[in-house]
């Protein structure tokens, strides 16, 4: 169905704390549409005062409220109600994200589909018995008798969870954190990015209709100060953070004095290995997805294109032809492939990457600047560099803008070595007609996710998502993500 941006609610005035909509102490702030660079709505601004209220409410709801002790099916029933609402209000959810992030319909549909799939799977997991029996043991005693014993492994909700999310997937990430956390019996405070607060306010509106006990789910918008408060406050038992590696590092430091659990989903510089025997059309399609999708604003996009030197020239030429055919512009126009970056500062950062790549001697083969024909908004041309040194700034650092870096290789061993020569380890891909060799290589690449010949074949709810190295700690999605929100308790007993 066509979505009309005019039909979408884009003005929210209250935060959601302790089961009530509350006036924020920071007033209201315009929310900018990155396509026009102008305000399209406004959102409440949370401050430390609001964070304090949310912390007190979430702690109280966990320590004194019924939620952690409810029958697991009762919590799952509430999540089912939420799933039904998501399905009902899908168009609104999609439209608001398109406006806030400047992503195309196809890109947002994908994010919403994952949110639905993950919520469905979490509900199934939440209904399963959380108690595991340990085998019975008979232990000989000094007096000649035998002691009969057994045990169980039980799961306890971890406690009060702070969910801090980035601008490029606030809806999805709030859901893949808050839904398993709540289903496990935790209470939650969500803090979205100040660039994209509205989608999390819409989430609050929908959760408010579930009639949860007060304090189980809270949303406090705001900036770094609110994030730091949640990261460091002793009333928080776990911080689940998605964002840049630099802020992830800060979160660890904030959490260290109280030794709270930290779950980090961070950035990447993921490799796409194109072998000499690759289907070239498939390789070019994967490469375009790898750095143009969401205007390069995706954590696990494969922005390092590691290409066999025997086919590199052909690959680059075909890729340039592919880039020429892409329409850049308003994501609400159906033939648009790529929208804008989130803010002007992101364009400036991308420009600085272009300049440094040129200074480092890489060859600019396509793009490299803001498009002259788009006079407003924060657009940047899809940009391709060839002859990039893997050790260079562009070879190592996350741009979060639409720049692809082509790096040549001469053997499979070298391709794997280059892929692994990164502080990150989030995503990756290999394109080859020799599936056995590609699989052997995939096993050696040190990233949390890697696909062979395209990722869509195994789009599974239990496909764990997370990274090695500076890409993070812990895993999200399915049974792996659900397990993050529980403490494991062993209870042993003797039959005396």
Active-site annotation, residues: 265, 299
Q: Verify binding: residue 231, ligand NAD, rule CB under 6 A.
A: yes
How are beta strands 238-242 and 160-164 bridged, if at all?
parallel
CB 342 within 8 A of CB 328: no
Cβ distance to ligand NAD smaller for residue 242 or 486? 242
Cβ 230 to ligand NAD, closest distance in Å?
Answer: 7
Pair 455, 426: CB distance under 8 Å: no
Residue nearest to ligand NAD (CB): 227
Q: How far is 401 from 351, CA to CA, in rounded Å?
A: 9
Phi/psi at 466 (5° precision)? 170, 180
Cβ partners under 8 Å of residue 456, min gap 6: none
CB of residue 98 vs ligand NAD: minimum separation in angstroms?
A: 17
Q: What is the DSSP string of 447-458?
A: -S--EES-SGGG
Cβ closest to ligand NAD, residue 19 vs residue 401? 401
The SS3 assignment for 239 reads strand
Q: Give the nearer residue to ligand NAD in terms of CB position, either 60 or 343.
A: 343
Rank residues 165 and 218 by Cβ distance to ligand NAD and give the closer one.
Answer: 165
Report the residue from 14, 208, 244, 387 that binds ligand NAD according to the rule CB under 6 A: 244
Could you say whether residue 247 binds ligand NAD (CB under 6 A)?
yes
- With binding defined as CB under 6 A, does residue 299 bind ligand NAD? yes
Cα 475 to Cα 463: distance, rounded to the nearest angstrom: 10
The CB-of-122 to ligand NAD minimum distance in angstroms stands at 17
Q: Per CB under 6 A, does 191 bind ligand NAD?
A: yes
Give the separation between CA 162 and CA 227, rounded to whole angstroms. 9
Q: Please identify, using beta-carbon distances, which residue of 151 and 223 lies nearer to ligand NAD.
A: 223
Our CA dihedral for 52, 57, 59, 65, rounded to 10 degrees, sits at: 170
Restricted to residues 390-429, the positions that interact with ligand NAD (CB under 6 A) are 398, 400, 426
Give the shortest CB-52-to-ligand NAD separation in angstroms: 16
When asked if residue 340 is in the footprint of ligand NAD (CB under 6 A), the reply is no
Q: Residues 140-179 vs ligand NAD: string with x where CB under 6 A?
A: ------------------------xxxxxx----------
Residue 50 sits in the site that holds ligand NAD (CB under 6 A): no
CB atoms within 10 A of CB 336: 19
Binding residues for ligand NAD, rule CB under 6 A, total 30
Q: How far apart are CA 206 and CA 186, in angstroms?
A: 18
What's the closest the beta carbon of residue 284 comes to ligand NAD, in angstroms?
24
Shortest CB 334 distance to ligand NAD, Å: 26
Q: Which is nearer to ligand NAD, 386 or 398 (CB)?
A: 398
Could you tell me if 473 and 263 are in contact, meaning their C-beta atoms sit under 8 angstroms apart? yes
DSSP 369: S
108 near 98, Cβ under 8 Å? yes
Show the site string, 349-388: x = touches ligand NAD by CB under 6 A, - = not. ----------------------------------------
Q: What are the residues facing 472 on neighbouring strands?
A: 265
DSSP state for residue 7 in the 8-state scheme: G
For ligand NAD, the binding residues (CB under 6 A) are 164-169, 191-194, 223-224, 227-228, 231, 242-244, 247, 250-251, 265-268, 299, 398, 400, 426, 472
């Amino acid at each position: 169905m066509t979505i009309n941006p005019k039909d979408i609610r884009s003005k929210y005035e209250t935060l959601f704390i302790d089961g009530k909509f509350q006036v924020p102490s920071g007033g209201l702030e315009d929310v900018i549409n990155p396509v026009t660079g102008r305000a399209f709505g406004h959102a409440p601004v949370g401050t430390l005062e609001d964070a304090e209220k949310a912390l007190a409410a979430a702690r109280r709801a966990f320590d004194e409220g019924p939620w952690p002790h409810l029958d697991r099916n009762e919590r799952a029933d509430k999540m089912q109600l939420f799933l039904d609402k998501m399905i009902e209000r899908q168009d609104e959810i999609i439209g608001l994200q398109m406006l806030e992030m400047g992503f195309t319909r196809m890109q947002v549909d994908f994010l919403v589909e994952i949110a639905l799939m993950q919520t469905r799977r979490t509900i199934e997991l939440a209904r399963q018995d959380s108690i595991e029996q340990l085998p019975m043991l008979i232990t000989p005693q000094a007096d000649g008798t035998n002691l009969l014993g057994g045990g169980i492994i039980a799961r306890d909700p971890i406690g009060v969870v702070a969910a801090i999310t980035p601008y490029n997937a606030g809806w999805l990430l709030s859901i893949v954190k808050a839904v398993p956390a709540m289903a496990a019996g935790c209470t939650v405070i969500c803090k979205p990015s100040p660039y994209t607060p509205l989608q999390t306010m819409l989430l609050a509106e929908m959760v408010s209709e579930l009639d949860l006990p007060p304090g189980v789910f809270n949303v406090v918008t705001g900036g770094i100060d609110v994030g730091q408060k949640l990261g460091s406050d002793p009333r928080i038992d776990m911080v689940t953070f998605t964002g840049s590696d630099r802020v992830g590092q800060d979160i660890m430091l904030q959490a260290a004095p109280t030794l709270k659990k930290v779950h980090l989903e961070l950035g990447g510089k993921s490799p796409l290995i194109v072998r000499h025997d690759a289907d070239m059309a498939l390789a070019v399609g994967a490469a375009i997805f790898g750095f143009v999708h969401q205007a390069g604003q995706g954590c696990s996009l494969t922005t390092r294109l590691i290409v066999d030197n025997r086919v590199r020239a052909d690959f680059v030429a075909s890729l340039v032809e592919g880039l020429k055919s892409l329409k850049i512009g308003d994501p609400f126009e159906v033939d648009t492939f790529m929208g804008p970056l989130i803010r002007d500062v992101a364009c400036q950062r991308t420009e600085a990457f272009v300049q440094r790549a040129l200074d480092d001697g890489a060859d600019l083969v396509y793009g490299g600047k803001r498009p002259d024909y788009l006079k407003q908004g924060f657009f940047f041309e899809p940009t391709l560099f060839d002859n990039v040194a893997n050790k260079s700034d562009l070879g190592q650092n996350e741009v979060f803008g639409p720049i692809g870096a082509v790096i040549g290789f001469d053997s499979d061993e070298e391709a794997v070595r280059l892929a692994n020569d990164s502080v990150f380890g989030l995503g990756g891909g290999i394109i080859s007609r020799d599936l056995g060799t590609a699989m052997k290589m995939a096993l050696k690449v040190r990233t949390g996710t890697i696909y062979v010949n395209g990722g869509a074949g195994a789009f599974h709810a239990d496909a764990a998502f997370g990274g090695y190295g500076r890409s993070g700690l812990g895993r999200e999605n399915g049974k792996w993500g659900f397990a993050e929100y529980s403490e494991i308790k062993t209870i042993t007993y003797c039959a005396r």
